[in-house]
Amino acid sequence: MKEGRILGLVIFLTFFILSVFYLSTRNNPIPDDQTLPWQSKVNASGQTEIYNLVIGSSSFQDAIRTFGKDLEVSLFKNQDESFQLEAFYNNLEIAQIRGQLIVELLMSENQLSFLQNNIKSSEKLPTGNEKFELNLFAKSSLRNLMIKKIVFIPKTDIAPSTIIDRFGKADKISSDAQGVEYWIYQEKGLRIIYNANGKEMMEYSNL
């Protein structure tokens, strides 16, 4: 009987401590140094900061330090003849939110010309764009390139109510002919692409 009373007291005290901890922390503000998707901001220089990276100032090497080395780098040629250089993370977890992440890099005309001369293979995509795999020599030259944009694509669908709850009300919302909505957050340097029939995308750039 004595052992039973002691066990019961231990269980009661454990439950009481956990309850006090929960009640005292559930409404605490999230610290500024946490890298959550809704904690981006535009600094005094007009640059967007997210995941401890600064768009336009942080390098590809900084992104690798933050997100890791499990990535695929590709050069894309769009139908309008423009080019994009992207690092793609297929399966990444950020603050317990799993998804895909794209780091688009800034490049000059000379750098683009260099990459075009160091292509390993190419393929035509269903969109009509072309995708080029770079050789090792080209890939090794990318680490000092600056970040142009970061795109996070959560694997779990996000409802509009959740977007508002986490990010607040957008400064502007527009839509295209297909019904895809574009939520603009100027002070966060963020555009959320909401697609009721597809995946949501969070684009961080210097707006």
The 8-class DSSP code of residue 48 comes to: E
Tens digit of each residue's pLDDT (9 = 90 or more) over 62-75 = 999 999 999 999 99
At 6 the pLDDT is 52
Within 8 A by CB and 6+ apart from 203, the residues are: 149, 150, 151, 190, 191, 192, 193
Per-residue pLDDT of the chain (207 residues; tens, 9 = 90+): 555 555 455 444 444 433 433 333 333 343 454 468 899 999 999 999 999 999 999 999 999 999 999 999 999 999 999 999 999 999 998 877 899 999 999 999 999 999 999 999 999 999 999 999 999 999 999 999 999 999 999 998 888 999 999 999 999 999 998 889 999 999 999 999 999 888 899 999 998
- Domain spans of the chain, in order of start: 33-204
As a whole number of Å, the CA-based R_g of the chain is 22
